[in-house]
Amino acid sequence: MSRNVELGFLAAAVFLGALGIGMVEFTQGNWLGAQVALTFVTFSLAFGSVHLALRAWAPNATPMVLPIAAFLAAIGFIEVYRIDSELAALQRWSFLAAGAGGALTLWLLRSSGVAVLRTYRYIFLAAAVVLLLLPLFPDSWIVHGATVNGSRLWVRLDLPLGGQELSFQPGELAKVFLTIFLASFLAERADAMATVSRRIGPLKIPEPRHLGPVLVAAFAAFGVLIYQRDLGASLLLFALFITMLYVATGRAFYVGTGLALVVLGGVVAYEMFDHVQTRVIAWVDPFSDFTGAGYQTVQGLFAMGSGSLTGSGIGLGRPDLIPAAATDFVFAAVAEELGLAGSIAVIAAYALLVTVGFGIALRARDRFRKYLAAGLSIVVGIQAALILAGVLRVFPITGITLPFMSYGGSSLLASMVIVALLTRISHEERS
């Protein structure tokens, strides 16, 4: 029953994507052609394979998660195609790979369920650390880092066959692995961390050894920031650590300490790094440096303002004027062409997805499943909120992808794995 509902909504999302591509084609003077058919086939294959995997290995899972992901992916893909059809052609392959990744995840967990992940938690931790360090590998190695837009957060793999290069952003998968590790680690230690404490005056603080993870989180985030100059990933990782500590212990102390560290770290980073300063200036008063630091922010504001209530219509705006419109600023492109109506729809879809995720966490049977579902929801929610807040000028631009919507294979693969894990947990609590 759930799966048939899911199939119906999925079909709607797939048709939405194909229809959007058709509208872009129409506004560019082309009539319905191969692009529309290709999009339809790609989306059917990518989301269809995850859907079939759910039918086979997680039939009782909630039907809410996959269609919301497909809806966001369709809206995002329409804008990516509209901004750069060559990027969109690559993105189609990413969709197929992400669909396969999601299905593969469900197949791997088919008999023992997510519980098996606990067994390998230190492998996940090690994998996450290696993935985070990969971009620092020197250029002469087969697997080596690459600097893109001043941030060293890419990895290139030089394939021995024909000198082909394969690029990916390992941080995207690392955050999923870290979530698995944290959920498993905290499921064991949470009680001790929550109850044991010592008093300093009126403050009840945890044992110093339990503060360890917080400090590790802070240092890891700072490490990422210093060596990879990646403000977004560093903030996301730190927020994930702190929030999961709170989920596991219920102690506001962690949140307070975390916020204090963010403020402190922010001040230090502002003093130490030019690129952080630039972003803060671009946030406070983007018009003061219109042609320089504030350019991207201002172009985003122009795009969203021009979109107004109902937008210019798909294919009829100028989102191509915004730097990084297909990746970090894809939301501004949606806001321009679909207007406030489209903006609210996208924000609501993320809120709904996160709500469904936390719902799965609340109903899950044991601590590990709860923490894992909550952690994955936190990753999606905070990542989406961080970049949306940057585009909407609620927060400085952090340079991070919008899950499901931005151009980028690594992000899409990680997002689809999250969908697979959430649906699997849902299946387990409903069986």
Partner 1 sequence: MNAPIRHVAFTIIAVFALLAVSATYLQAVAGPTYRDDPRNARLIAWRTGRERGTIVTSDGTVIARSDPSPEDQQLFQRSYPEEGTYAHTVGFTSVLFGSRGLEKARSSDLVSDRDSNISGVLNSLLGGDPRPRGLQLSLDHELQAKAEELLADQRGAIVALDPTTGAVLAMVSTPGFDPNGLVGAGAAPEGAELQADPDEPLRDRAINGSYPPGSTFKVITAAAALEAGIASPSTTFPDPIELELPGTTSTIRNFDEGVCADGAAVSLETAFIRSCNTTFAQIGMAVGADGLVATAEAFGFNEPIPFDLDVLTSRIPEAATFDTNPPAMAANAIGQRDVVATPLQMALVAAGIANDGEVMAPYVVAGVFRSDGTIESMTEPVVWRRAVSPATASVLRDLMERAVLSGTGRNASVPGIRIAGKTGTAEVSNSPPHAWFIGFGPVELEEGGRAIALAVIVEAGGEFSESATGGSVAAPMASELFQLYLSGS
Selected range binding partner 1 among 119-127, 167-175, 229-237, 246-254, rule: CB under 8 A: 246-254
Rounding to the nearest 10 degrees, give the CA dihedral for residues 329, 333, 336, 341: -90
430 binds partner 1 (CB under 8 A): no
3-state secondary structure of 343: helix
Kindly tell me which residue out of 55, 152, 189, 393 binds partner 1, with binding defined by CB under 8 A: 393
Size of the site for partner 1 (CB under 8 A): 52
- Between 102 and 206, name the residue whose CB sits nearer to partner 1: 206
Kindly tell me which residue out of 12, 41, 100, 392 binds partner 1, with binding defined by CB under 8 A: 392
124 binds partner 1 (CB under 8 A): no
Say how far apart CA 39 and CA 41 lie, in whole Å.
5
- Give the residue from 212, 205, 165 showing the smallest Cα distance to 186: 212
| 162: region left, alpha or beta (phi > 0 left; psi from -120 to 50 alpha) | left
Say how far apart CA 202 and CA 180 lie, in whole Å.
35
To partner 1, the closest distance from the beta carbon of 212 in angstroms equals 20
Selected range binding partner 1 among 67-75, 107-115, 175-183, 247-255, rule: CB under 8 A: 247-255
Please give the residues from 25 up to 64 whose contact with partner 1 meets the rule CB under 8 A: 27
- Between 8 and 305, name the residue whose CB sits nearer to partner 1: 305
**Distance between the two ends of the chain, CA-based, in angstroms?**
14
Handedness of CA 140, 145, 146, 150 (dihedral sign): negative
Site string for partner 1, 255-294 (x = CB under 8 A): -----------------------------------x----
Kindly tell me which residue out of 374, 412, 417, 422 binds partner 1, with binding defined by CB under 8 A: 374
To partner 1, the closest distance from the beta carbon of 318 in angstroms equals 5
DSSP 63: S
Six token digits for residue 195: 């109850």
- Between 54 and 385, name the residue whose CB sits nearer to partner 1: 385
Six token digits for residue 427: 């299946």
Kindly tell me which residue out of 184, 243, 257, 411 binds partner 1, with binding defined by CB under 8 A: 243
- Between 224 and 354, name the residue whose CB sits nearer to partner 1: 354
Long-range CB contacts for residues 354-357, cutoff 8 Å, separation at least 24: 354/380, 354/381, 354/384, 356/62, 356/64, 356/65, 356/68, 356/422, 357/65, 357/381, 357/422
180 binds partner 1 (CB under 8 A): no
- Give the residue from 83, 71, 20 showing the smallest Cα distance to 327: 83
Selected range binding partner 1 among 143-151, 210-218, 266-274, 390-398, rule: CB under 8 A: 390-398
85 binds partner 1 (CB under 8 A): no
Please give the residues from 299 up to 358 whose contact with partner 1 meets the rule CB under 8 A: 301-309, 312-313, 316-318, 320-321, 335, 339-340, 343-344, 347-348, 350-351, 354-355, 358
Say how far apart CA 273 and CA 352 lie, in whole Å.
37
Contacts of 373 by beta carbon, 8 Å cutoff, 6+ apart: 357, 358, 360, 361, 364, 421, 422, 425, 426
Sites of contact with partner 1 (CB under 8 A): 27, 243, 246-250, 290, 298, 301-309, 312-313, 316-318, 320-321, 335, 339-340, 343-344, 347-348, 350-351, 354-355, 358, 361-362, 367, 370, 374, 377-378, 381-382, 385, 388-389, 392-394
